[in-house]
Structure 1
Amino acid sequence: MDISFESGNEKFNYRVCAIILNDGKILAMHDERSPYFYLPGGRVKLGETAEDAVTREIEEELNITAKIVRPLWFNQGFFKEDVDGLHYHEVCIYFLMDISHTDLLDKGDRFFIREGSHQHTFEWLKYEQLQHEYFYPLFLKKDIFDLPQTFTIRTEYE
């Protein structure tokens, strides 16, 4: 069971996201439900560690086994979602991931992977390009240039 619930027009999510970097680019994705780019990852299941969740989500979405380098941020996000219009209270742990031992880079700058009934579009976006893209989380457009060396707690109102 995902750690997520709705109450009226509000929703709580506990998520994990993967920061996958290569040569000044970050791997972002979108699908038919979302007009914006976001990071690979997903909801944590009840009884699952954040580390296991990010590894599972990357295996499900990208068909690879990535290695965790380190956690970067614990972000408390408060925002209105553009697609469903709900007001979210979301906690998300962002992990820096290592994909050097996988074949992910062989897939090119833009590639597609099916996960169940959804087709995900993945793109390697240059850090500078994030400023001009419909991309979430907003804080990453600036913070991608200076990743924390220690696990950092942050709060974001978008």
Structure 2
Amino acid sequence: MVIPRAAAVVVDGRRALLIKRYLRLGPSRECAMCEAADWGGPECPGHQYAVLPGGHVEDGETAETTALRELTEETTLTARIDRLLWTGKHNGRPASYFLMTEVTGTPRLSGPEAEAHRPNNSFELIWAGPEEFDELGLYPADVRPPLTELLIDLG
């Protein structure tokens, strides 16, 4: 069964809130990023990338509810959804991206990401603009053009 993903797009001028990640699992066969990169080696080489806050749509949830829940779980921020920005794929799963408005709080890493934060599985909240997306490895790559366009339009 394919579990959809929903993500929250939080903007501040020409920057978006991202979760910078470093992930290194033992065997590459257990790593979705190794699979996405078509890595053929037996050991995961480690991956540095960034994603928009988000996660799995749970049973009984809408994508909108998931985006709001994940935003709060991962960053402690609360918000309201302005609109659906675009849809795409994330590791082969359907993904929905929602623009957040009326954002309150100060972003702080929290929830499962804060609990799992270790040298081989690290998380950091950052604000980044379009000029940083390639260097950060914003994932999936197909979110870079619409996010860049959004930030230019809103900035």
Give the TM-score range, shorter chain: 0.5 to 0.7
Match of 1:94 in 2: 97
Aligned partner of residue 48 in structure 2, secondary structure: coil
Question: What does 1:29-68 correspond to in 2, within 5 Å?
Answer: 29-33=19-23, 35-68=48-81
**Per residue, is there more helix in 1 or in 2?**
2
Identity score, percent: 28
Aligned counterparts of 1:24 and 1:70: Cα–Cα separation in 2: 18
Report how far residue 42 of structure 1 moved: 0.3
TM score, norm. by length of structure 2: 0.68
Aligned counterparts of 2:93 and 2:74: Cα–Cα separation in 1: 21
Structure 1 residue ranges, 4+ long, deviating more than 6 angstroms after superposition: none
Report how far residue 139 of structure 1 moved: 1.9
Aligned counterparts of 1:28 and 1:99: Cα–Cα separation in 2: 18
Q: Give aligned pairs, total.
A: 120
Aligned partner of residue 35 in structure 1, secondary structure: strand
Aligned partner of residue 13 in structure 1, secondary structure: coil
Aligned counterparts of 2:129 and 2:149: Cα–Cα separation in 1: 14
Match of 1:20 in 2: 10
Given that 2:20 and 2:51 are in contact with CA atoms closer than 8 Å, whether structure 1 keeps it comes out as: yes
Given that 1:13 and 1:89 are in contact with CA atoms closer than 8 Å, whether structure 2 keeps it comes out as: no
Aligned counterparts of 2:10 and 2:84: Cα–Cα separation in 1: 12
Q: Which runs of 5 or more structure 1 residues have no equivalent in the other structure? A: 6-11, 78-87, 148-158
Cα distance per residue 1:76-97 (max 9 Å; x no partner): 45xxxxxxxxxx4210010001
Aligned partner of residue 136 in structure 1, secondary structure: coil
TM score, norm. by length of structure 1: 0.67
Aligned counterparts of 1:46 and 1:146: Cα–Cα separation in 2: 33
Match of 2:110 in 1: 114
Q: 1:28 to 1:99 in 2, by over 3 A?
A: farther
1:142 to 142, 145, 152: 145
**Per residue, is there more strand in 1 or in 2?**
1
